[in-house]
A = this chain, B = another copy of it.
Amino acid sequence: MMMMSQSHPSVHPLELLEGPPVIARNPAGPRVRMKDIQGMPGTPAGLALRLSQFVFVVLSLCVMPTTFDFPSVTAFRYLVAAVGLQSLWSLSLTIVDIHALLVKRCLRNSKVISLFTIGDGITSTLTFAAASAAAGITVLVSNDFNNCEENHCTRFETATAMAFMSWFAISPSFLLNFWSLASMR
């Protein structure tokens, strides 16, 4: 249609009136890629993901220290450190999301999304590694050694499960941010 209006302007001069809609449609083209997918920063589903990350990670952070012997195992100390970092990150992003929703501000900025993606990637990797390591130890103690009388197996399992749940909530955040970053380029 653009080709037509450009190659025969003198034959069909009235077509020029159709110009503005074409021009308006053109710059809108790339913006279609950046439409709000639920779960991205600044959307209600994104806020729900952040809140669930924070809740699970705080539960893990509260349950693990109730087993007073956890510092004797490196993997459990690492789990506490990783979910501690994750809780700070998720709390910050929750606040950013609430702010963005309240003032109806769009967080669709390439630099902001890059920052969120890198942060999500690092914290989710650390949390997942910590949860896996803790799961390895928990299974070793409860299944391989059958030594749950002397150890707080249930609490170890709960803390590990909460860390995994938080990873299940942070992965979609990471993937959606990465997706929206790739769509922007």
Contact = CB atoms under 8 A, between A and B. Distances in A.
Interface pairs A-B: 7 shortest CB-CB: A133-B136, A182-B182, A132-B132, A75-B136, A9-B9, A129-B132, A136-B136
A163 B47 CA distance: 35
Interface stretch (A86-94, A97-105, A137-145): A137-145
Contact of A19 (B6, B26, B137): B6
A5 interface: yes
A140 B19 contact: no
Interface of A: 2-3, 5-7, 9-10, 16, 19, 22-23, 26, 33, 72-75, 125, 128-130, 132-137, 139-140, 143-144, 175, 178-180, 182-183, 185
B144 A185 contact: no
B179 A144 contact: no
Given A74-B143, A175-B178, A9 B7 contact: no
Contacts of A3: 19, 23
Contacts of A129: 128, 132, 135
Given A16-B6, A23-B3, A133-B132, A139 B75 contact: yes
Give the residue among A23, A72, A136 with the most B Cβ atoms within 10 A: A136
25 contacts: A2-B23, A3-B19, A3-B23, A5-B6, A6-B6, A6-B16, A6-B19, A9-B16, A33-B185, A74-B136, A74-B144, A75-B140, A128-B128, A128-B129, A129-B132, A132-B132, A132-B136, A134-B136, A137-B137, A137-B140, A140-B140, A178-B182, A180-B182, A182-B183, A183-B183
